[in-house]
A and B are shown apart, each in its own frame.
Chain A
Amino acid sequence: MEGAFILEKLILVVIVFTISLVIAMYSTLAERKIAGFMQDRHGPNRAGFGGILQPLCDGGKFFFKEEIIPAGAHKPLFILGPTLAIITACISSAVIPWGQTLTIGEREVALQVADINVGVLYIFGVVALGVYGIMLGGWASNNKFSLMGAIRAASQSISYEIPMGLSIIALLMVTGTLSMGEIVAQQSGFVNWNIWAQPLGFLIFMVCAFAECNRVPFDLPECETELIGGYHTEYSSMKLGLYMFSEYINMFVSSALMAALYFGGYNFPFMYELGLSQNWITIIGVLVFFLKIFGFIFFFMWVRWTLPRFRYDQLMGLGWKILIPLAIANIVLTAVVIVVKDTYF
């Protein structure tokens, strides 16, 4: 491999990491601001103009707080838990195509870290791995609430991975490829967005994404009222910060996934009719993609401050008795439509 290629990818990786960390940081502020506005109050507004420096203050506070490892805890696993959580959250953004190619001088730079031909499955694998961080942390804390949270997280994530995978299968039947780059490239313009072909699949995928991110109304692993924080009850200082961070990065990545898989990624209406040069299309495309992502992040928060938490049996009932049959029906329906279309049109 040539040096320029490695350098280019390295720069891209650093940029993606930085962007996801900054977005995760400011998601915490946005969350509190949106909560404030939805409850007719201001939210944090003291640090900097309109509270713009609040995430830095929070981060600084996390770093300087006392680090407590409980006496009965299993120390290596206690440390491994948040580490795994943040690593899995960060590496899942590797296959997301952020934009088309940029032409810098002679080189064509693809704005995607790795276009592997099983990109969708890669994300699944990483998401499946993410639950280890929560499970290990919860078990190693040696606390019954933490263990309860860990067990809830494990069963919830396994239950909702199935309908998520099934809804993706229906999507793959439409697109015919597993590569994220190709899936997004197919959705050029506006009418080709996968949301029009797979509305039910998108709904299932979105519900499952909420569940996989442990967001309200599926935040049973960490519910404050019953489990006093769940799996991170015993965590303090930056370890707690890492768990929080991984949650927000997960939210960012799943928003990016929903935007890329169903809402056309970097594609925007009339992108080729305006007569712009390739570089401008790419830049606007990246901006449009991030606009879509922010829209989904806002939606995540909007739902959080609207809905109450599920009861545990309702959660399991929704996953196994409603979403899985719906997803299977969606697969069958998609298959029938594809066959009919191929035969008669």
Chain B
Amino acid sequence: MSLFYFVAFVAIFFALMTIFTKNPVHSVLYLVVTFFTLTVHYILLNAQFLAVVNFIVYMGAIMVLFLFVLMLLNLNGDTEPMKSNLVKVIGVIAGMCLFATLLGAFRVIEPSNEIVTGNTDIGLVKHLGNVLFNEFLLPFEISAILLLIAMIGAVLLAKKEVKEIKKA
């Protein structure tokens, strides 16, 4: 349990560092560390498959792309747009709303509930596959279709730009 608290502390610390640091590249790197602590959380929950997938997809692919874009943009303090006070106030209100929603959600779930704790082997590949392709087949397939649509959309967006350049 003490391991959990340590990892949780590290996760929250680096998540805060992600927000508060000025340099966007540092921000991304702190986010990478945060994702790594999340991977450790998954391992602590005995969900090895989810842990590794989180590792590959978030740390290995998405954050690399983030870093890639940031390196190309070369952002620094001068290029940062001025934020008005109104934006800051709205941001605080929105954050509070999210926080309240999350708190309410946690109260409803009751973490000690039997359904939530459930089977501790659920994170292993075999069990996860069984659950995904039996109980949750429809949502799984729908999310797959959603991803496919997003992919086609991305391809279309990229294609359109090329045509415009040719016309011009």
B60 with A121: CB separation less than 8 A: no
A-B contact pairs, 30 of them (CB 8 A): A77-B25, A116-B48, A117-B125, A118-B125, A121-B52, A121-B56, A124-B52, A124-B60, A125-B55, A125-B56, A125-B59, A125-B60, A128-B55, A128-B61, A129-B55, A129-B60, A132-B64, A135-B64, A135-B68, A135-B71, A136-B29, A139-B71, A147-B71, A150-B71, A151-B68, A151-B72, A154-B68, A158-B61, A158-B64, A178-B49
Chain B residues with Cβ under 8 A from A129's Cβ? 55, 59-60
Nearest CB in chain B: distance from A148 CB, A: 10
Question: Helix, strand, loop or mixed for chain B's interface?
Answer: helix
Q: Knowing A135-B67, A139-B25, A154-B67, say if A161 contacts B61 (CB, 8 Å).
A: yes
Chain A residues with Cβ under 8 A from B61's Cβ? 128, 158, 161
Chain B residues with Cβ under 8 A from A77's Cβ? 25, 29
Asked if A17 is at the interface of the complex by the 8 Å CB criterion, the answer is no
Closest 10 CB pairs of A and B: A128-B60, A125-B55, A121-B52, A125-B56, A154-B68, A118-B52, A118-B48, A139-B71, A124-B56, A128-B56
Q: Knowing A118-B48, A121-B52, say if A161 contacts B60 (CB, 8 Å).
A: yes
Nearest CB in chain B: distance from A227 CB, A: 15
Q: In the complex, which residue of chain B has the Cβ closest to the Cβ of A157?
A: B64
Which of B56, B61, B65, B72 neighbours the largest number of chain A CB atoms within 10 Å of its CB? Answer: B56
Nearest CB in chain B: distance from A162 CB, A: 9
Asked if B32 is at the interface of the complex by the 8 Å CB criterion, the answer is yes
Nearest CB in chain A: distance from B87 CB, A: 30
Residues of A participating in the B interface, judged by any CB pair closer than 8 Å? 77, 116-118, 121-122, 124-125, 127-129, 131-132, 135-136, 139, 147, 150-151, 154-155, 157-158, 161, 178
Chain B residues with Cβ under 8 A from A124's Cβ? 52, 56, 60
Chain B residues with Cβ under 8 A from A122's Cβ? 52
The one of A121, A135, A147, A157 in contact with B49, judged by C-beta atoms closer than 8 angstroms, is A121
A155 with B68: CB separation less than 8 A: yes
Nearest CB in chain A: distance from B22 CB, A: 13
B25 with A131: CB separation less than 8 A: no
Interface residues of B in 58-76 (CB under 8 A from A): 59-61, 64-65, 67-68, 71-72
The one of B55, B64, B124 in contact with A154, judged by C-beta atoms closer than 8 angstroms, is B64
Additional pairs, 19, CB under 8 Å, beyond known A117-B125, A147-B71 = A77-B29, A117-B48, A118-B48, A118-B52, A118-B125, A121-B49, A121-B52, A121-B53, A125-B55, A125-B56, A128-B55, A128-B56, A131-B64, A139-B67, A154-B65, A154-B68, A155-B68, A158-B65, A161-B61
Nearest CB in chain A: distance from B47 CB, A: 10
Question: Helix, strand, loop or mixed for chain A's interface?
Answer: helix
Chain A residues with Cβ under 8 A from B124's Cβ? 117
Chain A residues with Cβ under 8 A from B25's Cβ? 77, 139
The A/B interface has a contact count, at CB < 8 Å, of 64
Nearest CB in chain B: distance from A132 CB, A: 7
Chain B: how many interface residues by the 8 Å CB criterion? 20
Chain B residues with Cβ under 8 A from A127's Cβ? 60
Chain B residues with Cβ under 8 A from A136's Cβ? 29
Nearest CB in chain A: distance from B26 CB, A: 9
Chain B residues with Cβ under 8 A from A178's Cβ? 49, 125
A128 with B52: CB separation less than 8 A: no
Chain B residues with Cβ under 8 A from A150's Cβ? 71
Chain B residues with Cβ under 8 A from A118's Cβ? 48-49, 52, 125
Chain B residues with Cβ under 8 A from A161's Cβ? 60-61
A68 to B61, CA, bound (A): 31
Nearest CB in chain B: distance from A271 CB, A: 29
Chain B residues with Cβ under 8 A from A154's Cβ? 64-65, 67-68
The one of B32, B48, B65, B72 in contact with A132, judged by C-beta atoms closer than 8 angstroms, is B32
Nearest CB in chain A: distance from B137 CB, A: 18
Nearest CB in chain B: distance from A212 CB, A: 12
Interface residues of B in 39-61 (CB under 8 A from A): 48-49, 52-53, 55-56, 59-61
B53 with A128: CB separation less than 8 A: no
Q: In the complex, which residue of chain A has the Cβ closest to the Cβ of B48?
A: A118
Which of B52, B53, B59, B65 neighbours the largest number of chain A CB atoms within 10 Å of its CB? Answer: B52
Q: In the complex, which residue of chain A has the Cβ closest to the Cβ of B43?
A: A116
Q: In the complex, which residue of chain A has the Cβ closest to the Cβ of B70?
A: A139
B52 with A125: CB separation less than 8 A: yes
A271 to B104, CA, bound (A): 63
Mark interface residues in B119-131 (1 if CB within 8 Å of A CB, else 0). 0000011000000
